[in-house]
Structure 1
């Protein structure tokens, strides 16, 4: 897959999953997703395109992991 504007260096955005707010940023081909409300460690992945889609997937994974730690 060839890189496109979705994964341009410095791309960033915000997203929300089930009431939790997060941010994502692409820097040097690495996507980093940070949740602002769950209080868990950020997740990172290499990305070439569709950074916003991958960010949503990572945020969903973070949410599933967060739910497992809740009483």
Structure 2
């Protein structure tokens, strides 16, 4: 999840004004509200330690079962 900061084509640099515009978009403008909603959704998913550990255990079990060694 993120918002793009306008960058220079030659070297990829950005100005403080460009950074401020990107932050303003997320923090103040109306379309920034969708970032807040998405952040709350992601916090529910990634903030659930037990679910994360279960996914990790399942992944490791899969790797162990399907390894060639």
> What is the TM-score normalised by the length of structure 2?
0.31
| Higher helix residue share | 2
> What is the TM-score normalised by the length of structure 1?
0.30
| Higher strand residue share | 1
Whichever of the two has the greater Rg, that structure is 2
